[in-house]
Structure 1
Amino acid sequence: MRTPTPPRLRGPLAPAAGLLAAVLVLSGCQEVQTSTAPAEETADVTGVGLDGKTIAEGGDLVMALSAEPDVLDPTTSSSLYTRYVMQTMCEKLYDIDASGEIVPMLATELPEVSEDGLTVTFPLKEGVQFADGTPFDAEAVKTSIERHLTKEDSSRRSELGPITDVKAVDDLTVEIDYETPFAPIAAVLADRAGMIMSPTELEKTGDDFGEHPVCVGAFKFVERVPQTSITVERDPLYYDAENVHLDSITYRIITDASIRAANLRSGDVQVADTLSTQDLTELEADENVGLLEVGSLGYQAMTVNVGNTDGVGAPPGKIDTPIATDPRVRQALSMAVDREQLVKSVFNDRFDPACSPIAPSSTFSTAASEACPEYDPEGAKALLEEAGVETPYKIEMKVTNTPDTLRLAQAVQASVADGGFEVEIVPVEYSSLLEVQEQGDFDLLQLGWSGRVDPHGNMFNFLSTGAGNNYSGYSNPEVDDLLTEAATVIDPAERAELYGQVVTQVQKDNPIIYLYRTRSLTGYVGEVAGISTYADGVVRLSHAAFVEPTEG
């Protein structure tokens, strides 16, 4: 088996007058993954292709989904698992490919940017229809983007930058005007902000769009059974319908990783996401199971509530607890976490410690963004004493109620005890935990982020005042200014330096305490091909198929 070149990310290379996109480079697709080496020695396996295989047209594929998605609405969704489902139903203006480069999807070219950086123009595919038969055109794109910008509970507003106007220049050309240049636009439109919704369905359902989403996709929505499953079926109106092979996909909610693995081995499901490192040895020994393994652009972290009193996006309020008011207490908590030991004990050394929202393989990575507080429990206790906090300092941490997360929480609990903290673990069902973090109903909470190709997507929405994913209620004018400036700069080195400054300040304030970086672990049975998982963590099934067994 050929060993791919180790992954390396690269950032936007074109000037403002040309094409604007942040891109990354990962290793090519391989079909077999058998290594049990630690994460840094394991090559990425991004997909299993259809080339050379005999496709058995039709069939109903079942994917085991590790958590229930939130609302199926591109404007308000905040769950990775929603992106899995929406990937088959709601195509975006742009996407990333297996090598991590930003590529056109519903657009036909990367954005063209004016010399002053204030106007972004992109052309659209012709002859495309939404699943309800509504024509896909520039007015539909304008409607979706304006909804992202104006809907009161939108999670996309702060992602899109300082837009002043969105215009349908003609049927197939969209123009976005900015107050100041906005470098991450292509990367932003390669995520939920670039999902275009049927204006007919939006007019009909309004805020209830997520109950019956209608977009452009290989599949269209059929039904959702809460806590159980979501089903989509082949859309005959899809512009590339001849390359869609399955009749339907059912996303079955199976929150226990060991049960997902067992269902995969038995063939009751054909694809399973987020497999546990505890099950890999057994899965890798199964001749009928293949594994995709991809390094993540995201992170897992603990979020400290320092000002989320009225819900995400509202102005920060005052929380009168030592951990919310005194950065020394939060710094002590960060110092009390033994990140190296966490990934060894909980994840068999398959994942990597992390102290930053910027992946080390990114072109935006710098010494500042890679700096990590040393594990120092004695120093942590000294900081707590300096802050006048009685030890052990007791704090409640809300986490998802999955076995792997509970193992992580228990390891964190044991680690920080030596640093003067007493953590009470409160397990919460995943979709409920999303609501908890949005409402600010927590002191400390453990969740992660799947990551985006541009650092803006991993930082601005979480760290700038009042942004759509600023669950901590954090507000620092210096960080706001740095993040805003970084989005206006075209040169990758300048942007990297600015993001490094942000990380330095955030590691002083610690509204988010970064813990580790996962690898996306997706399993599939040998009778399925045409599936992939890229560095954004999304499992792609739009062109999956059942295939005839290979003789030999």
Structure 2
Amino acid sequence: MSPRSRLWKGLAVVLVLGVLAGCGGGGSDESPAAGAVDDSAVLRAGWTVGPTSLDPHMATAEVVWFRFGMTSIYDRLFTVNAAGEVEGMLVDSWEYTEDGLQLTMTLREDVTFRDGTPLDASAVKLSLDRARTQQSPVVKARMAAVTAVEVPAPYEVRLTLDGPTPAVPYILAENSGFILHPDLVTSGDPATETNGSGAYSVESFTPGESLVLVRDRTDYWDPEAAKIARIEHRAVPDFQAFSNALAAGQIDIGQFQPNNVASIEGRRGLQAVPVPQGISSDLLFNRAVAPMDDLRVRQAINLAIDREAITQALYPGSEPKYQYYREGLQGHDPSLGPIGRDVERAKALLAEAGHPNGVDLGEMLVSTATTAGLLDVVLEQLAEVGIRADAVTVDALQIFPRWAEGRSAALLQFSSTGLEPGAGASTSWGPQLNPAGTTPEFDRILAAAADNRLSQEERNAGYQELNRFLREQAWSSPITWINYPWVMTERLQGFSAEMDYATTLGPYDFRYLSMQADS
């Protein structure tokens, strides 16, 4: 099933449920017919989590930082379309050497920072060297493949790589690829101030709470972008308050959880767009601690989880997750069938592992952003096969360093496969996010697949092998692929499930949105 087919599947479920009944025609995967653009419009975006720093290289969670307005402040070297394919943004063209160990990027020559300073190769080198050398929660590790940055010509950047990986352009489509003004890098404080080549600057920022952006230049290089005069991003952690704010017209757009979108049913002037993303709910395992170091225990947990029941009850319109890459994206293996719930087999596996009377997992971390009700259902289903855990709820941003400490047995959290399968696997299963680290077999499979000298078909076959390995070794218990309903004012134009990043990270770049003028 293609991303478009999945979109219509999710939409059909939403309509059957009557979500947004009476909202001017209900949900659609296309924006309304374009009308006159209000170039003085204000767009108010609501999110459940807000970043605590403005520094793109110090993000603790790339998705959180990426979506909270930063794509309006900084331009990036690459972008990724809805099909998961990388495209140039600041980069006009790029080429690998025959041995795959160097990547040469030719930049656009019409981009400037707002003070007129050219965004040239020297500015790019300064930002990339900062990203790959500064100690940071995520970005430095993501840039580990880059061992040197050179400037052969004023608008040409050459990267030397530690191996022939295809992931670098995808990595540079995320936080690593945002280019900061040289003055900000050398003498500023990127955590509290911004200076980029984007069309917007920061009017105000309250860490973890709000970010207000204003369009303050008329010479922006992309004439199709930046049609909104002011963008106000606001964190609303409570789902009910989030729903109330959108229903009351206090925010104009928000990504809903599938099970709470019905709270704005019947509200006129709103539209809904379901977006199938590479985001899921998962129970992650720390294989470095007992009893999670026993494959049979991990398999028993997988057999205890009823994915169909959870998806139907808590994620209406979404899809149960049985493997590590979503259908329609690289790495998906159609030969991998469902993981059915089997209570008796789960109990037998626990007995084989030396736990005939059940087992205590120990501490299970739970993100505050986790879908309401998921923890209770998971604990109940585990208990039915004799598996117990001590759930500890942790802030959605602080949970990542807490998990990396390696003291907890499991983590109930949202997961992302990333923009590119190899890069996503390195991040998800590497030591930064996975306390147990990788294994020689994992490393071998990943290295063989993530090679820029291979064809896309050959790389896909390698990622499918990695997918099968992760499932056979039960490195986690996948639960649900989420089809997120986005709800927004009918005045908003340009939003669809075909936007950049839509089926991977999510359609978080608002650069081509606009607001329709009042008639």
Work out the CA distance in 2 between the residues paired with 1:210 and 1:48: 35
In structure 2, which of residues 147, 161, 165 is the aligned counterpart of residue 178 of structure 1? 161
Work out the CA distance in 2 between the residues paired with 1:38 and 1:455: 34
Match of 1:463 in 2: 429
Deviation at 1:213, TM superposition (A): 3.3
Match of 1:397 in 2: 364
Work out the CA distance in 2 between the residues paired with 1:424 and 1:37: 39
Work out the CA distance in 2 between the residues paired with 1:472 and 1:277: 30
Contact in 1 for aligned 2:286/2:435 (Cα 8 Å) = yes
Match of 1:20 in 2: none
Structure 1's 490 and 72: CA in aligned 2 closer, same or farther, altered over 3 A? Answer: farther
Match of 1:522 in 2: 486
Match of 1:66 in 2: 48
Match of 1:23 in 2: none
Residue 505 (str. 1) matches residue 469 (str. 2): yes
Instruction: Extract unaligned runs of 5+ from structure 1.
Output: 1-5, 9-25, 308-318
SS at match of 1:298: strand
Which structure is higher in RCO with an 8 Å CA cutoff and minimum separation 6? Answer: 2
Deviation at 1:282, TM superposition (A): 5.5
Structure 1's 531 and 88: CA in aligned 2 closer, same or farther, altered over 3 A? Answer: farther
Structure 1's 450 and 280: CA in aligned 2 closer, same or farther, altered over 3 A? Answer: same
Deviation at 1:196, TM superposition (A): 1.6
Contact in 1 for aligned 2:300/2:347 (Cα 8 Å) = yes
Q: Deviations over 1:417-464 (max 9, x none)?
A: 112112333322322323323444532211223443421132122224
2:274 maps to amino acid: E
Structure 1's 485 and 443: CA in aligned 2 closer, same or farther, altered over 3 A? Answer: same
Work out the CA distance in 2 between the residues paired with 1:473 and 1:74: 27
Match of 1:356 in 2: 323
Structure 1's 70 and 440: CA in aligned 2 closer, same or farther, altered over 3 A? Answer: farther
TM-score by length of 2: 0.87
Match of 1:435 in 2: 401
Contact in 2 for aligned 1:117/1:181 (Cα 8 Å) = yes
Work out the CA distance in 2 between the residues paired with 1:243 and 1:338: 44
Match of 2:418 in 1: 452
In structure 1, which of residues 103, 106, 123 is the aligned counterpart of residue 106 of structure 2? 123
Q: Deviations over 1:26-70 (max 9, x none)?
A: 58999x96752699xxxx966637x73111221332111111225
Residue 346 (str. 1) matches residue 314 (str. 2): yes
Structure 1's 124 and 98: CA in aligned 2 closer, same or farther, altered over 3 A? Answer: same
Structure 1's 458 and 178: CA in aligned 2 closer, same or farther, altered over 3 A? Answer: closer
Q: Deviations over 1:205-242 (max 9, x none)?
A: 3xx52322332223223332134212222131633368
Work out the CA distance in 1 between the residues paired with 2:320 and 2:197: 38
Residue 140 (str. 1) matches residue 118 (str. 2): no
1:502 maps to amino acid: L
In structure 2, which of residues 148, 151, 176 is the aligned counterpart of residue 193 of structure 1? 176
Structure 1's 406 and 28: CA in aligned 2 closer, same or farther, altered over 3 A? Answer: closer
Residue 105 (str. 1) matches residue 89 (str. 2): yes
Instruction: Extract unaligned runs of 5+ from structure 2.
Output: 18-26
Structure 1's 100 and 47: CA in aligned 2 closer, same or farther, altered over 3 A? Answer: farther
Contact in 1 for aligned 2:2/2:327 (Cα 8 Å) = no
Residue 211 (str. 1) matches residue 192 (str. 2): yes
How many residue pairs get aligned? The number is: 499
Deviation at 1:84, TM superposition (A): 0.9
2:506 maps to amino acid: G
Work out the CA distance in 1 between the residues paired with 2:323 and 2:15: 24
Residue 264 (str. 1) matches residue 246 (str. 2): yes
Across the aligned residues of Structure 1 and Structure 2, the Cα RMSD in angstroms comes to: 3.0
Work out the CA distance in 1 between the residues paired with 2:139 and 2:200: 24
Contact in 2 for aligned 1:219/1:233 (Cα 8 Å) = yes
Work out the CA distance in 1 between the residues paired with 2:425 and 2:72: 27
For 1:310-325, list aligned pairs within 5 A.
319=289, 321-323=290-292, 325=293
Deviation at 1:244, TM superposition (A): 2.2
Contact in 1 for aligned 2:76/2:173 (Cα 8 Å) = yes
Match of 2:222 in 1: 240
SS at match of 2:190: helix
Contact in 2 for aligned 1:351/1:518 (Cα 8 Å) = yes
Deviation at 1:268, TM superposition (A): 1.0
Work out the CA distance in 1 between the residues paired with 2:6 and 2:334: 28
1:36 maps to amino acid: V
Contact in 1 for aligned 2:417/2:428 (Cα 8 Å) = no
SS at match of 2:58: coil
Moved more, 82-91 or 149-158: 149-158
Residue 7 (str. 1) matches residue 2 (str. 2): yes
Residue 420 (str. 1) matches residue 404 (str. 2): no
Residue 299 (str. 1) matches residue 294 (str. 2): no
2:92 maps to amino acid: T
Match of 1:314 in 2: none
1:232 maps to amino acid: L
Contact in 2 for aligned 1:358/1:458 (Cα 8 Å) = no
SS at match of 1:331: helix
Q: Deviations over 1:313-334 (max 9, x none)?
A: xxxxxx4x322x3232222212
Contact in 1 for aligned 2:333/2:467 (Cα 8 Å) = no
Match of 2:21 in 1: none
Match of 1:486 in 2: 449
Structure 1's 141 and 434: CA in aligned 2 closer, same or farther, altered over 3 A? Answer: same
Deviation at 1:256, TM superposition (A): 2.3
Work out the CA distance in 1 between the residues paired with 2:137 and 2:402: 17
Work out the CA distance in 2 between the residues paired with 1:180 and 1:79: 24
Q: Deviations over 1:120-157 (max 9, x none)?
A: 22211213223465431111212222222222225234
Deviation at 1:96, TM superposition (A): 2.4
Work out the CA distance in 1 between the residues paired with 2:16 and 2:354: 41
In structure 2, which of residues 145, 149, 152 is the aligned counterpart of residue 166 of structure 1? 149
1:329 maps to amino acid: V
Work out the CA distance in 1 between the residues paired with 2:205 and 2:73: 14
Q: Deviations over 1:388-410 (max 9, x none)?
A: 235242533222335x6231111
Contact in 1 for aligned 2:247/2:264 (Cα 8 Å) = yes
Structure 1's 451 and 522: CA in aligned 2 closer, same or farther, altered over 3 A? Answer: farther
Structure 1's 169 and 46: CA in aligned 2 closer, same or farther, altered over 3 A? Answer: farther
Work out the CA distance in 2 between the residues paired with 1:471 and 1:203: 33
